[in-house]
């Protein structure tokens, strides 16, 4: 397993339900990825806001870590975990 730090802004289609954030798709390097599974999520306090992290699968054996920043409402692809 290889981890690759990305830290690039991305566009994410998401919805809020019962106070929770649910990412559905994201666009990175002109490609749209459909999120097939959220493996885990966690948050951490950063300054006055917090960052919500999502470990997801997008139809491949690789894992993506997406981060939502509550201060600027921006998303970024934090890192990529390559299987194999």
Q: DSSP secondary structure string, 45-56?
A: EETTEEEEEEEE
Q: Is the predicted pLDDT of residue 84 greater than 80, yes or no? A: no
Q: Who's near 44: CB < 8 A, 6+ residues apart?
A: 50, 51, 53
pLDDT digits (tens, 9 = 90+) for 4-42: 999 999 999 999 999 999 999 999 999 999 999 999 999
| Domains: count for the chain | 1
CA gap 25, 71 in Å, rounded: 21
- Residue 45's pLDDT is 96
The model's pTM = 0.92
Nearest partner of 23 among 76, 69, 66, 80, judged by Cα: 66
The domain containing residue 57 runs over which residues? 2-82
CB atoms within 10 A of CB 73: 8
Residue among 51, 75, 62, 74 nearest 4 (CA) = 62
Averaged pLDDT, 52-71: 95
């Amino acid at each position: 397993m290889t981890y690759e730090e990305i830290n690039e802004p991305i566009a994410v289609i998401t919805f809020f339900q019962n106070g929770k954030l649910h990412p559905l798709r994201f666009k990175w390097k002109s490609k749209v990825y459909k999120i097939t599974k959220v493996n885990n999520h966690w948050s951490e306090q950063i300054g006055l806001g917090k960052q919500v992290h999502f470990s997801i699968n997008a139809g491949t054996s690789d894992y993506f870590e997406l981060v939502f920043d509550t201060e600027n409402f921006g998303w970024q692809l934090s890192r990529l975990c390559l299987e194999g």
